[in-house]
């Protein structure tokens, strides 16, 4: 057994309830000024006022193996990034320039670029190449304080290559310090060989790909890109119901560019989360609240696509639990930094720093079924935290565009 005591920490952490945090509670962050975190074998054993914890330890027979003085710095839970496409084989900087010159994201996809160009690169890459490229991406996210990350497949779009991607994501889970949560996203686009025959591809997904993904046993969630020219609401419903029967929980890329009714579908299915929601209607937002669906907002994608941000304030006011994610991918948003996302949430979506903190930690843990393991500093959870170069979480927005981080800790070990 190893016991570590982190002293003189100014701790800001949300607290886990029975459901994702919503409404006024999203901005309620307890604060411990002169706090201690006691870590036993990588998990939080106790957290609270320094005096109390040190007194408890003094009365015990077990010795602390290591004491770390954090010097009064602000400490927050490690970031949980609940939406990334961080497994790919090549960048798409040329396409970014096309977008800057005015070509819309969905037009590029329609013309066989975009996601489909990433599919060509992933199909051509060996497992080793894909692993090395993706591992470097995850290292960057770790440097920015992400200690838990969801990674989607969706650049294979056939059974062999989707399983290859999930295999690589599983290897990332085993061989990086981060907690990695794999999501199957075979419904990311209709592959070129099924051009004009989307229903046939949906059949392949249901009859062959999903059962193979279940047998492989890596993916925990199934996600669908419900969008004009990609998968309709009806197709998305079929795929997600099929996935659920096989034990994969539903997530939806909903109303990212156009309001198709993806948010309403997420509410109807009581999906774990609905993502993007830039164009979500009032009715869609109410459906999320009614279904207890976590809204995963990706403000760096809105920024990169030059679109208006999602209506985070309306969502919070209507009782939708809001989470934050990077969307790290080669196309719509090549951003690995949760601090940047945090600052966009505060400056662009008018969330308070406390709301953004809950969104980037505890609610994002709920969005990927990790709320019992990570997302807050509470006894029993992994001792994952970020020591900020600042007095409070507001430093993340105050120092926009920089990295106001002194150190990153995963399971009680310093990892960045
Ligand atoms: O979340 N919208 C679909 N998927 C990603 C983009 C993937 C890509 O462009 O490669 C997104 O924006
Ligand atoms: Fe995405």
Q: Would you give per-residue pLDDT tens digits along the chain (416 residues)? A: 999 999 999 999 999 999 999 999 999 999 999 999 999 999 999 999 999 999 988 877 678 999 999 999 999 999 999 999 999 999 999 999 999 999 999 999 999 999 999 999 999 999 999 999 999 999 999 999 999 999 999 999 999 999 999 999 999 999 999 999 999 999 999 999 999 999 999 999 999 999 999 999 999 999 999 999 999 999 999 999 999 999 999 999 999 999 999 999 999 999 999 999 999 999 999 999 999 999 999 999 999 999 999 999 999 999 999 999 999 999 999 999 999 999 999 999 999 999 999 999 999 999 999 999 999 999 999 999 999 999 999 999 999 999 999 999 999 999 99
Going by alpha carbons, the residue nearest to atom 8 of ligand 1 is 331
Q: Which residues contact 120 (CB under 8 A, 6 or more apart)?
A: none
Residue whose C-alpha is closest to residue 39's, from 64, 58, 9, 70: 64
Q: How far apart are CA 198 and CA 42, in angstroms?
A: 47
Other Cβ atoms within 10 Å of 136 Cβ, number: 10
**The 179-187 sheet, strands edge to edge:** 79-81, 146-152, 179-187, 221-226, 249-254, 273-276, 294-297, 322-324
Strand, coil or helix: what is 18? Answer: coil
Ligand 1 centroid – CA 116 distance (Å): 11
- What's the gap in Å between 228 CA and the centre of ligand 1? 14
Which residue, by CA, sits nearest to atom 2 of ligand 1? 225
Cα–Cα distance, 296 to 232 (Å, whole number): 20
Name residues with Cβ closer than 5 Å to ligand 2, which is an ion. Answer: 327
Domains of the chain: 3-77+376-414 (2.30.40.10), 79-367 (3.20.20.140)
Burial class (CB in 10 A: 0-12, 13-18, 19+), 246: middle
Pocket of ligand 1 (CB under 6 A): 85, 114-115, 118, 225, 253, 256, 301, 327, 329-332
Query: Where do the H-state alpha helices sit in 21-126?
Result: 50-58, 93-100, 105-110, 115-124
Expressed in angstroms and rounded, the spacing between residue 387 Cα and the centre of ligand 1 is 31
Tell me which of 188, 236, 254, 299 to substitute to probe ligand 1's pocket, judged by most ligand atoms within 8 Å of the beta carbon.
188
DSSP string, 84-106: -----S---HHHHHHHHTT--HH
- In the reported structure, the alpha carbon of residue 107 is separated from the centroid of ligand 1 by a whole-number distance in angstroms of 13
CB atoms within 10 A of CB 235: 19
């Amino acid at each position: 057994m190893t016991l570590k005591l982190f002293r003189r920490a100014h701790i800001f952490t949300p607290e886990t309830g029975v459901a994702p945090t919503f409404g006024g509670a999203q901005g309620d962050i307890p604060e411990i000024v002169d706090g201690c975190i006691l870590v036993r074998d990588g998990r939080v054993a106790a957290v609270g006022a320094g005096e109390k914890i040190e007194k408890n330890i003094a009365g015990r027979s077990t010795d602390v193996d290591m004491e770390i003085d954090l010097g009064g710095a602000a400490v927050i839970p490690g970031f949980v990034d609940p939406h990334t496409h961080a497994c790919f084989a090549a960048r798409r900087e040329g396409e970014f320039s096309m977008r800057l010159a005015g070509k819309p994201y969905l037009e590029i996809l329609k013309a066989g670029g975009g996601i489909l160009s990433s599919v060509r690169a992933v199909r051509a890459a060996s497992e080793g190449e894909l692993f090395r490229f993706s591992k470097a991406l995850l290292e960057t996210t770790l440097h920015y304080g992400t200690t838990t990350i969801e990674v989607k497949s969706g650049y294979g779009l056939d059974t062999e290559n989707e399983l290859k991607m999930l295999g690589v994501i599983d290897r990332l889970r085993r061989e990086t310090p981060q907690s990695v949560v794999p999501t199957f996203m075979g419904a990311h686009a209709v592959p070129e060989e099924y051009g004009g025959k989307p229903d046939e591809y949906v059949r392949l997904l249901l009859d062959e790909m999903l059962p193979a993904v279940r047998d492989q046993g890596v993916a925990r969630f199934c996600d669908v890109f419900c969008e004009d020219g990609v998968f309709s609401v009806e197709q998305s419903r079929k795929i997600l119901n099929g996935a659920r029967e096989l034990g994969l929980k539903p997530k939806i890329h909903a109303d990212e560019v156009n309001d198709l009714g993806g948010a309403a579908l997420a509410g109807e299915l009581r999906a774990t989360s609905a993502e993007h929601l830039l164009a979500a209607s009032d009715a869609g937002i109410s459906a999320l609240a009614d279904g207890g669906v976590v809204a995963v907002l990706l403000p760096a994608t809105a920024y990169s696509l030059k679109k208006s941000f999602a209506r985070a304030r309306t969502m919070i006011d209507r009782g939708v639990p809001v989470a934050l994610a990077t969307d790290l991918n080669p196309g719509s948003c090549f951003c690995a930094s949760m601090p940047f996302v945090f600052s966009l949430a505060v400056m662009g979506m008018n969330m308070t720093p406390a709301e953004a903190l809950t969104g980037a930690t505890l609610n994002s843990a709920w969005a990927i079924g990790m709320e019992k393991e990570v997302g807050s500093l509470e006894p029993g959870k992994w001792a994952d935290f970020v020591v900020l170069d600042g007095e409070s979480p507001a430093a993340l927005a105050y120092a926009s565009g920089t990295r106001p981080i002194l150190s990153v800790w995963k399971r009680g070990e310093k990892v960045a």
